[in-house]
Amino acid sequence: MPCNDSPPKHDPDDDVFEMCPVARVEQRFSELQETTTADSTTLSRVLDDLEEQDLITRRLEDRPIATYYDLTKRGEELTGVFEEFEDWAFEHTVAEKPAADRPE
């Protein structure tokens, strides 16, 4: 299930469970960095590890200069796992689901 909307801007008051860049289909490095507290070295290392595990692919563009990351088919297969984990986390922790995700 692709998610084509822009990622939310990082807000230090946001709960970590509301920011899950792994579930996004395509992200620029800078967008990923805005949605995490990881420094660029750590984020680069994690992205390299995910690429080695065939969970993401890296694409370089020259105009504008940017690096994009996409989930591979193998990576997309994990989105359900992360959604289930997120549901569990909201049910069993004090984290509050974003209003848009709450049942009516």
Q: Would you state the pLDDT for residue 20? A: 53
Q: Would you state the pLDDT for residue 5? A: 45
Q: pLDDT per residue over 84-102, tens digit each? A: 988 888 888 876 666 656 5
Collect the ranges in the chain with pLDDT lower than 70. Answer: 1-25, 95-104
Q: Would you state the pLDDT for residue 26? A: 74
Q: Would you state the pLDDT for residue 46? A: 92
Handedness of CA 86, 87, 91, 94 (dihedral sign): positive
Contacts of 30 (CB under 8 A, 6+ apart): 66
The listed CATH number (2.60.40.1120, 3.30.465.10, 1.10.10.10, 3.90.650.10) that belongs to domain 16-92: 1.10.10.10
